[in-house]
Amino acid sequence: MGSLALVLLFSVLNAAVLCSAGITSNFVRVQASIDMPLNSDVFAVPPGYNAPQQVHITQGDHDGKAMIVSWITTEEPGSSKVVYWAENSKTTKEAEGIVTQYKYYNYTSGHIHHCTIRRLQPDTKYYYTVGIGNTTRTFWFHNSPAIGPDVPYTFGLIGDLGQTYDSNKTLTHYQNNPVKGQALLYVGDLSYADDYPYHDNRRWDTWGRFVERSVAYQPWIWASGNHEIDFDQEIGETDTFKPYLHRYRTPFKASGSTSPLWYSVRRASAHIIVLSSYSEYGKYTPQYYWLQNELQKVNRTETPWLIALMHAPWYNSNYYHYMEGETMRVMYESWFVQYRVDVVFAGHVHAYERCKRFSNIAYNITNGLCSPVKDLSAPVYITIGDGGNIEGPANNLTYPQPAYSAYREASFGHGILDIKNKTHAYFGWHRNQDAYAVEADSMWLLNRYWSHADDSIPAES
């Protein structure tokens, strides 16, 4: 064997443990994750009396022709109006929103504004202004292109972010990635305020100011996680999801949902289904009926890429949160195979894992067929709950590595899903410790509607 071949072999073996099932990375991230202090510069309150803060946007309808703009004022309600205009246009438009407020134990929120701006033109840059008087603030976003099967589009992926120094690295890494996400798919667990005594809701405010630098300029598509439940009977807080539902709106009614916790949106060439891991999902429940109907309505000739978001992963080879998504998997996995969902993104486990196309839908109690098997009609399952929160990385992996697991690593990072056309998309996972352009793991996804070929081979670097 030549010297060059020996060097390459040593590099591969030094980088990862190779199993018959897949790759378990040897990269170890052991430092504790520490929340940034309340006076950190990334939590700074914008200057000016009653200045709008925690500005964020999300898609405001089913097809990307509207945007929900949200923000908070602290001293008084002020105005809920949004003034907006297309780039290079001399005409401004206005939309009037609503204002709400909530109390949680000994905390009273600021005045929370939500305003939907509609009839947006596709593939157009818009500016928008919130606030009144001398404390207005102006931001911009680029609206989604029109729905179409070959429309390219790039999504960012982050989950379980929190507000630690590592969280800041993750968000910075995402923003500096040379492949720019146009919208972000967020798979749950936002502020981790509930890790503090009495669910210190000031940490919802700091988180909102922290992520504003991204989410005020591109829509984040929200899925809820267990840290959004905020149920604490000991302090009299029994209304679940109270802070989250007051602060973060979704366009759930546009997809026929009865709850903001599960819904769908279409964006460019993608149909995105958001599920709630912590709402009722058994047979005869609203979420069950909604998903059953929603999957039947997906038009793959218009939006060939069918993507699902949830918090608790169905396939997870980490002892942390092991099998917590199992009951939802049993309920819905056969539908995902039947309708050929392309990829499922989840969080919850504070690590990264990419699975092959496997399914486990043959078991009927008596037949003994209870092991996952290769299934090219099944989605690729990706766990990306590695945003960097205060609870640290999940580094207790199961061995041997299961056959369904392609790559796994207990460190922090973000993902990029780059849809090229109706048949091909490229996914890359970026570790925080690497250079911005470096992908620690990647693969080409072949669309399940247009191709049944095996795409489980990792992408070439």
pLDDT in tens, 143-155: 999 999 999 999 9
What percent of the chain clears pLDDT 70, i.e. is strictly above it?
A: 93
212 within 8 A of 54, measured Cβ to Cβ: yes
- The pLDDT value recorded for residue 43 is 98
Identify the band that residue 368 occupies on the pLDDT scale cut at 50, 70 and 90.
Answer: confident
Residue among 207, 183, 182 at smallest CA distance from 194: 207
Q: Answer yes or no: is pLDDT of 16 > 90.
A: no
Q: What is the pLDDT of residues 154-183, one digit of tens each?
A: 999 999 999 999 999 999 999 999 999 999
Minimum mean pLDDT among 8-12, 27-31, 34-38: which range?
8-12
Burial 398-437 (b: 16+ CB within 10 A, else e): eeebbbbbbbbbbbbbbbbbbbeebbbbbbbbbbbeeeee
Minimum mean pLDDT among 114-118, 202-206, 395-399: which range?
395-399
- The pLDDT value recorded for residue 4 is 39
Q: Answer yes or no: is pLDDT of 30 > 80.
A: no
Q: Answer yes or no: is pLDDT of 33 > 90.
A: no
Tokens representing residue 423 in the block: 């048949």
Q: Answer yes or no: is pLDDT of 14 > 90.
A: no
Catalytic machinery residues? 321
Q: Answer yes or no: is pLDDT of 103 > 90.
A: yes
Average pLDDT, integer, range 62-67: 98
